[in-house]
Structure 1
Amino acid sequence: MKALFLLLSFVISYLLFDIRGNKVANLKIEYGSINIDGKFYNLDPNFKRGKFSVVFPFIARRIFEMIFGGGSERRRCDFEIVEFDEKLYERKNPENKITWVGHSTFLVQMDGVNFLTDPIFSMRAGPFGNKIGSRRYVPPAMRVEQLPKIDFVIISHNHYDHLDILSLKKIVELNSDVKIFVPLKVKKLLDREGIGENTVELDWWDEFNFKGLKIIFTPTQHFSGRWLGDSNETLWGGYVIIGKKKFYFAGDTGYFFGFKLIGDAFGPFDIVCLPIGAYEPSEMMRPVHMNPEEAVRAYMDLKGRIFCAMHWGTFDLSDEKCDEPPKRLFECVKKLNLNVDNFKIFKHGETIKW
């Protein structure tokens, strides 16, 4: 009887794996990355970036503020930093946990494996070694030196506030065997910076098994580029990580139909990390950044349980007031009669167990 039970369990597991494997293969065929003449494109054929008539005044205002000042009311917010407890991440305490460092940077422990999402520990996000660019409202919740041993890093795309070379170099210096997962064509940048040996490039729907976890790179709706002449020459995306539980990290994205594809293929998720900020002016931002209401919609598409808010309250990237995104998020959650306890707005440095 026991042997029959084991056989049935094996057959069911094999069939489920085969079904999921076929589903992912089909997704790669139907919704794989699109590269035409060296440029990557979003899945939505109707995708359009903001009009020049909106983008130019926004950029001009930001340059004016950088030189002459202004925008202080937009940036006037009180943010609390929680002192990071390094003992929480000791190997003898392998319970799943997640800490918000700020912006889109999370420190995550999953099945005893430690990883970072889009790590940026610099005070600015911008070119020339972060000498110019958006400045943080508050410093990072901890120093790189305070982090536990990092097993791997996931990078969603090459924008300066998500791929910070100075932070990556420090992480590699302290963790010589760390793996860095990046989208297609991003490895070239890391090669130039001397950390390419640690890098693994992924296409949409690619899977990589690492220390008992399955890492899957999935589509988002965004764009890439670190300077004027390299727009969309590298890919962008989010990550599904599957162990005993399931984790999703969106990186940076507008709302699109891909969330439902990911939720149907891999969900339900125990944790989804979704961006809620940088959405004004909406005519410019909406194609590539979600507002809080759209993030809730993505959460439901993904079949998420715990919603971890990110991409807000750290860098001055848009026109909404720095503390507006979480207020709008909770207004939406209450309006939809969702469980408020499942929506987490972290203090900088705060840790929760999952």
Structure 2
Amino acid sequence: MANLVEATSRQQFEELLSKAGKNLTVVHFQAEWAPQCGQMNDVMAELAKQHAQVAFVKMEAESVAEVSQKYEVSSVPTFLFFKAGEKVDRLDGAHAAELTKKVQRLAGYGGPDDGGAAAGSDLNQRLKKLINAGPCMLFMKGSPQEPRCGFSRQIVALLKEHNIRFSSFDILSDEEVRQGLKTYSNWPTYPQLYVNGELVGGLDIVKELAASGELENTCPKAVSLEHRLKTIINQSPIMLFMKGNKQAAKCGFSRQILEVLNGTGLDYDTFDILQDEEVRQGLKTYSNWPTYPQLYVKGELIGGLDIVKELKESGELVSVLKGES
């Protein structure tokens, strides 16, 4: 079969996996409306030329919803990697270099002499960054709003009950992190709770700390919502609160504002308000702005999509983003 094809049904998807046998199959869950998916399809086309033994498949995530649900695909672009019909890895977002590395590694390239050690080092650096992304960091299945296993649900309930402020990472969204963190921390199960970059443990340990009254002393004290919002708003000189992230917008307004900001060539950070209901609701009151996306520059609210469009049309957008006006 051609090694770059489109699957339009679950049956066709399963047939393609079966035909590939033990060879690597890369499946791109995409959406026509997402420009980053089109860019990653171009990357797939180039990779298909280089790796004749690898099957590359693209699918409309929403059109074949049963497949997306089965593999917990909730944003685009998402890439799943299969061998002998079994999922062996995952990549979320438009990361061309990472996709290339995964294809090379899983297709049998990239041995110890040509980058294996470097890849391990890169993963460790990434894990360190994630572990230190917040004073209290929970690696779990799902999100605090939608835990996807009983253990994750219990630990979230305990932390909330004791008024512990924590950040989280969904290990189901990144197979490399999910597997790598087990080795890095020498802790084979999830959830995993870290405080100030150090592993505390899993659900049983947190239960023991809660029962002994030590949990509040182990984890950072909760800060006020206002203080937390100010901290996030000032996390970057240009801060966008949106549905989704740079790689995968989850609404049309967020997608449009990304296109405008990307056109300026300026660096900016994003916060996914779908992942944090407290921030999503609290920021509306804090900023007196009822809708999303919301754009901030140097801690000050600029506005939403309409205002950003107006600034672009008047030629003022870049100067505003630089804080010059």
Class of the TM-score when normalised by the shorter of the 2 chains: under 0.3
TM-score of the superposed pair, with normalisation by structure 2: 0.24
Computing the radius of gyration from Cα coordinates, the structure with the larger value is 2
Which structure has the highest helix share of the two?
2
- Identify the structure with bigger relative contact order (alpha carbons < 8 Å, sequence gap 6+): 1
